[in-house]
Amino acid sequence: MELQGSTVIVTGGSRGIGRGIVEAFAAEGANVVIGDLLGNAEVAAACAETTAVLRAAGAGVHAVEVDVRDPAANEALVAAALSTFGRLDVVCANAGVIVPKPLAQTSAEEWDFMFDVNAKGAFLTCAAAIPHFTEQKAGCFVVTASIAGKRGQAGAGAYAASKFAAVGLTQSLSMELAPLNIRANAICPGYLGTSMWLNDILGRQKDAGKDTSQVFERFATQNTPLGRPQTPADIGQAAVYLARADNVTGVALNVAGGLEQW
Ligand SMILES: NC(=O)c1ccc[n+]([C@@H]2O[C@H](COP(=O)([O-])OP(=O)(O)OC[C@H]3O[C@@H](n4cnc5c(N)ncnc54)[C@H](O)[C@@H]3O)[C@@H](O)[C@H]2O)c1
């Protein structure tokens, strides 16, 4: 796929991994459309910074308020990409949340929250683009899953289950849509020091006054075969590869420093 002049949607593209994906596609000459929870002041500030940096570099960028749990909001996101840039080529369903708790302590509401965003949200974002991709007989989905979508996780079981669902969604999309020349692949990142780790997973340590960047760095370094955490740029590089790889569909690609091997 030629990325110069293409249009790419990235949900949760304001910060963290999503920002890495947005920057990687913009560097290839793609126009990017960020769908995120812009009603949240912190997310809106991150989005403003990301879009300003990209615009200064000459990229085409548009940001849309989207809650991926809402089917109509996902449809409006696709419509905004088409009306702003006149085409849509790649959809990255990246938005995600975690409530890191052992299963015995996970409430039904917390289970639903993670499944609603990580599994149903990814489904709704992809589903919104299927009619357009079907019409143009081309298109590519990249779903941000996790190594937690390949191996159960003690202390984050509901999150892992929702990421297994995201991998299953991706594989099923790839099989249903292959005859239409529409591809679907997932990326399974390992450990990244984004807000998800520094504020959500290490929230208790943060509340106790610890420097969670240091705690994260030590943990990720010790527990990753390559001896370092991943970066948003690593994940962006993989997303660009998957968008370009015209004969690759249905894979769940680990970008995890050797942490997971299948
Ligand atoms: N950080 C890691 O180590 C890691 C590892 C594997 C997978 N992931 C996955 O990567 C993705 C990005 O996470 P991150 O680490 O950058 O965390 P992050 O918290 O920095 O970013 C998450 C993004 O998703 C957005 N989001 C959350 N709920 C949303 C909703 N309902 N609608 C629209 N947007 C929503 C947030 O506003 C934010 O922009 C997630 O799917 C996460 O599960 C992260």
Model pLDDT, residue 261: 86
Ligand 1 pocket test, pick from 144, 169, 259, 260 with the greatest ligand atom count within 8 Å of Cβ, gives 144
Residue nearest to atom 40 of ligand 1 (CA): 96
How far apart CA 19 and CA 23 sit, in angstroms, is 6
What average pLDDT does the chain have?
A: 98
Model pLDDT, residue 133: 98
DSSP 3-state assignment of 224? Answer: coil
Q: Is any atom of ligand 1 closer than 6 Å to the C-beta of 159?
A: no
Distance 194 CA to ligand 1 centre (A): 9
User: Which residues make Cβ contacts (< 8 Å) with residue 82, sequence separation at least 6?
Assistant: 88, 132
Q: Is any atom of ligand 1 closer than 6 Å to the C-beta of 69?
A: yes
How far apart CA 105 and CA 37 sit, in angstroms, is 27
Residue 185 has pLDDT above 90, yes or no: yes
Q: Position of tokens 């239409």?
A: 180
Residue 1 has pLDDT above 90, yes or no: no
Residue 242 has pLDDT above 90, yes or no: yes
Amino acid making up residue 225: P
Distance 248 CA to ligand 1 centre (A): 25
Ligand 1 pocket test, pick from 194, 199, 230, 235 with the greatest ligand atom count within 8 Å of Cβ, gives 194
Question: Which residues make beta-bridge pairs with 9?
Answer: 33, 91
Model pLDDT, residue 105: 98
Q: What average pLDDT does range 78-95 have in this prediction?
A: 98
DSSP 3-state assignment of 106? Answer: coil
The token pair that represents 7 in the structure block: 């249009």
Would residue 159 show up in a list of annotated catalytic residues for this protein?
A: yes
Q: What is the pLDDT of residues 208-229, one digit of tens each?
A: 999 999 999 999 999 999 999 9
Walk me through the domains of the chain, giving residue ranges and CATH numbers. 7-190+230-254 (3.40.50.720)
Q: Write down how long the chain is.
A: 262
Q: pTM for this one?
A: 0.98
Q: Is any atom of ligand 1 closer than 6 Å to the C-beta of 162?
A: no
